[in-house]
Structure 1
Amino acid sequence: MQRLSVQAPRSVVMIRPHHFSPNPATAADNLFQGTDAARSASAIAAEAHREVTRAAARLEEAGIAVHLFEDEGRATPDSVFPNNWFSTHSGGHVALYPMFSPSRRKERRHDVIEMLKHRYRVQDVIDYSGLEQDGVYLEGTGAMVLDHIERVAYAARSNRTNEVALERFCTHFNFEPVVFDAVDAAGRAIYHTNVLMCIGTDFCLIGLATIRDVARRDEIAERLAQGRVVIDLDHEQINEFAGNAIELQGRNDRVVALSSRALQALRPEQRAVLEGLANLLPLDVPTIELAGGSVRCMLAGIHLAARGALQAAA
């Protein structure tokens, strides 16, 4: 068994939507969203439900504990992406985040936080959601990609990533902020950092070409290369969600969870490098990806110490 890594959580929270649909309220700045005119809304919702069910089962087969919550409401089309509204941190800390779209603020759930308190050792919950009243937003581990080993928070500027909120988070949680501008091939701002970047224990997937400032790009690449293999993704691979992955601790080895679409976008040599560092766990979520996010967005990693029974089971 590989040594345990603070970068790779052993358990996750997932939300299984009963009325999933791509959210029109977020389409203006989430350029990764898509449509499917060939299927009815009910067919799309039913398939999204099945995709989450299958993904949760595959994660559990790999030895990852999945806390699966149901969302039967119709007012939260993006609820399948819980990593945006909360995050968890070693030492027993939980953060709640301010969300840009009013439709997404309804995703915050008391029962999820209560489960965390019951099953894991939670010391405090820091709630930043009140910043929404000031037009200040920081959409969790979508807006930030956290290096839990080096204590660095990488963040691409956008209307969903406010630097004041980021500084506040970093002060509370002891991270160093590293902020940069990131754009797609057409020069449009990328809405979330986690679609262009994934940090694992021994590797980093990153779309370096998205970082507009060359000096900043080189600085970040050099920093990431200290102790990690940097796998550079091109714009096309970013569009295929190759950067939207997450490293998890499985039963025997660390795994990289990513979508089947993302895995297919990797070049053979990139895939070989990743396979040498962790097991690859592709999940089939093409319907979920219509909403502009992929596997990383679907999984809220739990970086908390488990209470007795769960810890023994793990």
Structure 2
Amino acid sequence: MTTAQSPTAGAPHGSHRNGRVSARARDLHLTDSVRSARHDARAQGGRSGEWMPYLPASGSPHRPPGVDPATLVWAETVAPGGYTHKVLARGTRLRFDDPTGDACAHLLLYNALEPVERLNVADTQKVPWQAYLGENHPLLSGDGRVLAVVSADSSGRHDAFCGTTTDAWNERKYGDARPEGPSPSGRGLFLKAAAKHGLGRRDLPPGVSFFQGVRVEADGTLGWQGSAGPGTHVELVAEMPLLVLVANVVHPLDPRPEYVVGPLRVHAWRGTPTGPGEPRFTATPELHRAYLNTVDYCEARGL
């Protein structure tokens, strides 16, 4: 748990924080020539950090139980106040773990082939007749297709109402919203992730978040439930080729005055999409139709 981003491990001459290297390396003249800079850079090889992607993914020290390391295609620990992104093939299993009980995984999903098709939170709540995310809940696009489905859930504390934080919100509450600052906003981090895939501000729809629960109270207000505690996880199945954007930031309804968020572990491994023989494929008429739309789209493209 932290109130700011952790230093990047592997900086042997002082800390590297928010993009600013301490003066110690400069004072020791370790990078005052091309030769010295190359030597200093190569000396960092093999070092690891508390928050980092693991390359190759099979080398992750936090591999989920029962997962063959040879099937892993993504393994990463996302820093508190950090973000990540990935393109995943259809059928990929995607797992988020909250090791401390303070992670909050804000998520945006896009059709990786045509990113104009993206997560539609209203349909995600409306089509299954259920506003609360949980096991077997589909994450739907505005085109009536299943982008992904929640295949496992040990947390039960999620949110499809509030979206993520904005710069204005964080500046008001924490006094800062810079992506490199002590209290970055989810929208600010999503914008950075989206830009790496040619997307911009207008391409950021409302999203969902995992590990910090929200419920509608009897009077219609939204009540923050917080976390289910450390050691919970959520797994998704990618029913289409996906572009995944993740921001690990505080929930906008978190009542704590400090910017409190913990690390988030992410793993993905090769698998198969939901098939007609699985119960959720035909669980309801609405979901059956969404799956038929999804299969039709994917099979026409040879996926």
Does TM, scored on the shorter chain, surpass 0.5?
no
Q: State TM-score, norm by structure 1.
A: 0.26
Larger Rg: 2
More strand by share: 2
Q: State TM-score, norm by structure 2.
A: 0.26
More helix by share: 1
